[in-house]
Structure 1
Amino acid sequence: MGYRIVDPKTVEPTGDRPCELRRLSEPAQLSSVALNQFRAAPGEQIPLAYHYHEEQEEAFYVLSGTLSVETPETDITVSAGSLFVADSESPHRAYNPADAATDVTVLALGAPAVSGDAVPYEPANE
């Protein structure tokens, strides 16, 4: 058996994102899922680009604030306490609008924990 407690505040943010990203999988010793906490100020986006995953399913649980998600069909607003799910092969771009009143904090879960399956999505390619 194994149990762990991870305080996200003790995990150093990653420096290569347009918002604050704390990668929680490694400190939690998770191997089957990717677990991350994002905090995006107004005008910041969560992923690096509009994208989809070839294999990975992705879920965003909004801890505080309001998350906006752009999809090919519509823009979606996700309130605190709600969960947004993107199936594999489903393009999306999660962000905090520039006119938002507060930061948005999101717990993101991706499974399986694969690396390199994010594919940039260009809406004009439809």
Structure 2
Amino acid sequence: MGYRIVDPDAIDPTPDRPCEQRALTEPAGLEHVAMNRYRADPGESIPLRYHFHEKQEEAFYVLAGELAVETPEKTYTVPSGSLFVVDPGDPQRAYNPADAAESIEILAIGAPQTTGDARQHDPNEPDDDAGAE
């Protein structure tokens, strides 16, 4: 049997990110799912770029605040206590709007756990496959 308690605040934030990211996957010993906790102040983005994943499903659970998610069709507003799900191949950019009244906290889950399947999305060039993350 394997059980673990992981304190996200004990994990150093990932350097060179547009907001505070605490990578939970490795400390939790997860093999099949990726997990991160994000804290974004007003005006900060969650991912490095507008992107999509080739194989990975993503789910963003909003712990606090109100998440904005830009997609090619529209921008979604995701309130605290709600889950926003993105299918593989669908581009998105999650962020905290510059005019937001507060910081947001997000638990992001991705499966399967992959490396290198994130691709930058350019709304003017939908087939752009430059690395995103």
Q: TM-score range by the shorter chain?
A: over 0.9
Name the structure 1 match of 2:122. Answer: 122
Residue in 2 that maps onto 1:13: 13
The secondary structure found in structure 1 opposite 2:124 is helix
The sequence identity of aligned pairs, in percent, is 62
Runs ≥4 in structure 1, deviation > 3 angstroms? none
Counterpart check, 1:48 vs 2:52: no
Alpha-carbon separation, structure 1, partners of 2:84 and 2:43: 19
* In 2: Cα distance, 1:16 partner to 1:81 partner: 28
Q: What is the CA RMSD across the aligned residues, in angstroms?
A: 0.6
Structure 2 gaps of 5+ residues are 127-133
Deviation for aligned residue 1:125: 1.7
TM-score, normalised relative to structure 1? 0.99
User: Gapped runs of 5+ residues in structure 1?
Assistant: none
1:118 deviates by: 0.3
Aligned residue pairs: how many? Answer: 126
Deviations 1:49-106 (A, max 9, x none): 0000000000000000000000000000000000000000000000000000000000
1:25 is the counterpart of 2:22: no
Match of 2:80, as an amino acid? A
